[in-house]
C-alpha cells in the first residue's frame, strides 16, 4: 500500500461527478485516452450504492509503463484485461486494474475545498514498505507517476469548474443520458440522503436490467482536441 493526500480547491461532488463520466478523457487526459479509450468504455452497473463503468480491454499498445506491475492472482478472463471504475457512494472512488488499485477518498474540508487521500493497493509480490525503500519506490514509480499525472489533469478541470460555478457563469442544463446517467444516479442517492432522517430509509438503486439501453452500443469517439481547435 502506498498513500498520500492533497487538498483540492473544488467541492467533493464535482470531483466524483468528473470521475463518473468518461467523455472528458479525450480532452482532459490525452495520455490516459491512449490506454483507456472512450470507445472501449461501457456501463458497469449492478444493484448498489455506487456508479460504475468499465474499460474493456485496457490497452498497453501505445503506453505500457502503468502495466509494469505484476498482475494479481486469481483474476478471471474479463478482469485480466479490464479496468473497473467505481464511485462508491458517497465519497470513495476506485480504479481497479489487473495489477493495482488506485483509490481516492474525498473528505470535504469546506464547500469549495476537498482533501483527497490517494491510496495505491498492490498485488502480492510488489514490495511496498517492508523492504528497501529505494526498491519499493522504483517498483511503483511508473504507475504512481501515471496516476499523479491523470489526477493533476482532473484537479485542473474540476478547479476550473468550481471557479465557474462560484461565479454563477454556468447555467443548469440537462444531463446526457448516454454519458451522464451515472451522475443522475448519484444525484438521486444524494437527494435521498438529504431528505431521509436515517440510513435505514435509503433506497438502494437497482442495477441495469436486460433490455436497458443506457450507454448501449458503440460510443461515439469525440474528436481530438487539436482537431476541435482547428474546427475539423
Ligand atoms: Fe478524469
**Structural domain containing residue 176:** 2-196
Question: Contact, 66 vs 34, CB < 8 A?
Answer: no
Q: What pLDDT is attached to residue 184?
A: 94
Report if residue 218 sits inside a domain: no
Distance 8 CA to ligand 1 centre (A): 14
User: How many domains is the chain built from?
Assistant: 1
Verdict on whether the full-model pTM lies above 0.85: yes
CATH number of the domain that 152 lies in?
Answer: 3.90.380.10
Distance 28 CA to ligand 1 centre (A): 7
Report if residue 9 sits inside a domain: yes
Show the DSSP H helices in the chain as ranges. Answer: 12-20, 25-28, 32-35, 133-166, 177-195, 225-229
Report if residue 207 sits inside a domain: no
Distance 19 CA to ligand 1 centre (A): 6
- pLDDT per residue over 46-68, tens digit each? 999 999 998 888 876 666 777 77
Provide the pairing of β-strand 92-97 with 100-110.
Answer: antiparallel
Report if residue 130 sits inside a domain: yes
Distance 15 CA to ligand 1 centre (A): 9
Q: What pLDDT is attached to residue 33?
A: 79
Distance 208 CA to ligand 1 centre (A): 24
Q: What pLDDT is attached to residue 224?
A: 60
Distance 194 CA to ligand 1 centre (A): 27
Q: What pLDDT is attached to residue 134?
A: 55
Distance 88 CA to ligand 1 centre (A): 16
Q: What pLDDT is attached to residue 232?
A: 47
Q: In whole angstroms, how far apart are CA 134 and each of 45, 51, 99, 128, 131?
A: 40, 37, 20, 10, 9
Distance 31 CA to ligand 1 centre (A): 11
Distance 131 CA to ligand 1 centre (A): 33
Report if residue 54 sits inside a domain: yes
Report if residue 62 sits inside a domain: yes
Distance 135 CA to ligand 1 centre (A): 30
Mean pLDDT by 10 residues, the chain (232 residues): 90 97 87 79 90 84 74 91 94 94 97 96 69 64 89 96 88 85 94 85 86 70 57 50
Amino acid at each position: 500500500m502506498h498513500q498520500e493526500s492533497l487538498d483540492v480547491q473544488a467541492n467533493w461532488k464535482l470531483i466524483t461527478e468528473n470521475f463518473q463520466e468518461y467523455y472528458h478523457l479525450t480532452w482532459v487526459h490525452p495520455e490516459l485516452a491512449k490506454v483507456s479509450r472512450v470507445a472501449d468504455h461501457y456501463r458497469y452497473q449492478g444493484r448498489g450504492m455506487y456508479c460504475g463503468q468499465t474499460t474493456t480491454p485496457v490497452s498497453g499498445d501505445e503506453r505500457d509503463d502503468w502495466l509494469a506491475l505484476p498482475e494479481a492472482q486469481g483474476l478471471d478472463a474479463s478482469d485480466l484485461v479490464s479496468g473497473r471504475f467505481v464511485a462508491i457512494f458517497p465519497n470513495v472512488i476506485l480504479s481497479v486494474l489487473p495489477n493495482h488499485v488506485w483509490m481516492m477518498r474525498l473528505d470535504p474540508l469546506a464547500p469549495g475545498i476537498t482533501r483527497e487521500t490517494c491510496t495505491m493497493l498492490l498485488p502480492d509480490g510488489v514490495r511496498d514498505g517492508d523492504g528497501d525503500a529505494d526498491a519499493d519506490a522504483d517498483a511503483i514509480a511508473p504507475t504512481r507517476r501515471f496516476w499523479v499525472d491523470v489526477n493533476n489533469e482532473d484537479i485542473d478541470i474540476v478547479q476550473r469548474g468550481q471557479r465557474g460555478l462560484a461565479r454563477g457563469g454556468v447555467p443548469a442544463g440537462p444531463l446526457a443520458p448516454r454519458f451522464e446517467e451515472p451522475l443522475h444516479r448519484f444525484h438521486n442517492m444524494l437527494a435521498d440522503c438529504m431528505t431521509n432522517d436515517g440510513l435505514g430509509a435509503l433506497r438502494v438503486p437497482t442495477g441495469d436490467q436486460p433490455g436497458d439501453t443506457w450507454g448501449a452500443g458503440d460510443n461515439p469517439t469525440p474528436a481530438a482536441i487539436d482537431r476541435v481547435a482547428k474546427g475539423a
